[in-house]
Amino acid sequence: MKKALAEAEAAFEKGEIPVGAVIVIDNKIIARAHNLTELLNDVTAHAEMQAITAASHFLGGKYLHQCTLYVTLEPCQMCAGALYWSQISHIVYGASDPQRGCINLNTKLHPKTTIKGGILAEEASDLMKRFFVEKRNLN
């Protein structure tokens, strides 16, 4: 999760909403990503989506069996849908997103996917809060 937080910091520095993600298989990071929605002018360029694409390219296939996604914020419905189709084995997230997160919206994940939240949640949440405070003060 610390590597995902480093990715979130990179997003913060670029003026992106600070969400970072890494995908791991056999204790090896195979994908690193952060939000790029502003830079790419693409609403689908969430950290998770970027990481899924990178991991799929690394593995040479569309399924992420035996992989774990570490992401600093609970995935949204769009990302949860993509994670469903990737058949990722595990999702570990930091801060909860009660308004847009997949848990409260009852988004289905693949039946074999496990999900666990609250890992380094305070650090992830603090980074998000700092981002939005700075953003509001600039406007």
Q: Please list the active-site residues.
A: 48
Residues in the chain: 139
- The annotation status of 79 as a binding-site residue, yes or no, is yes
Read off the tokens for 8.
């979130």
Q: Which residue has the tokens 């909403």?
A: 17
If you ran DSSP here, which 8-state letter would residue 50 be given?
H
CA 111 remoteness from chain centre: 20
Q: Which helix (H) or strand (E) holds 81?
A: helix 77-86
102: annotated binding-site residue? no
Residue 65 labelled as part of a binding site: no
Distance CA 51, CA 49 (A): 5
Please enumerate, by residue number, every residue annotated as part of a binding site for Zn(2+). 46, 76, 79
Residue list, annotated binding site = 46, 76, 79
